[in-house]
Amino acid sequence: MPGTLKYTFPKNDRLTSRKLIENVFSKGKSFSNFPFKVVWLSDNSNTVLQTGVGVSAKYFKKAVDRNRIKRLIRESYRLQKHSLEDTLKKNKARMSVFILFTANEIPPYELVFDKIGKIITRLEAQINENS
């Protein structure tokens, strides 16, 4: 079906390279939108948009809780990332993004979905500002 969006988050769209992650944190720009901190870098990665997610073990001792929060973030991101990808393709840009969860309680899905949408909107504004 032409024109149908595929809501996927394949492995090549994930930020997994240690070198790239270190680059994002050392050279990247950041902003906060509670309960998230976003670090991003316009770069020459392999794909148009690569994203990583992290949750602090300091506040969530159990891996089950950390994994639950990461699943919520990735799912929200997967459903909303298309506008960001379109903006990047339109401006012929590439971006690596790392999203950190900074609160100390497991959030409801609605809050995560809303905040990820705001983060994506802000990243789009940054791209348009730089182009």
pLDDT tens, 7-57? 888 888 888 889 989 999 999 999 999 999 999 998 766 778 899 999 999
CATH at 32: 3.30.230.10
The model's pLDDT over 45-70, given as tens digits with 9 standing for 90+, comes to: 677 889 999 999 999 999 999 999 99
pTM of the model: 0.90
Residue 109 inside a domain? The answer is yes
Domain range enclosing 47: 11-130
Enter the DSSP assignment of 50.
E
Residue 90 inside a domain? The answer is yes
Using an 8 Å Cβ cutoff, are 23 and 45 in contact?
no
Residue 118 has pLDDT above 80, yes or no: yes
Using an 8 Å Cβ cutoff, are 112 and 72 in contact?
yes
> Which of 73, 63, 74 is closest to 35 using CA atoms?
73
- Name the band, by pLDDT with cuts 50, 70 and 90, for residue 1: very low
Please give the tally of structural domains in the chain.
Answer: 1
Q: Any residues with CB less than 8 A from the CB of 51 and at least 6 apart, and which?
A: 13, 14, 15, 77, 81, 96, 97, 98, 99
Residue 3 inside a domain? The answer is no
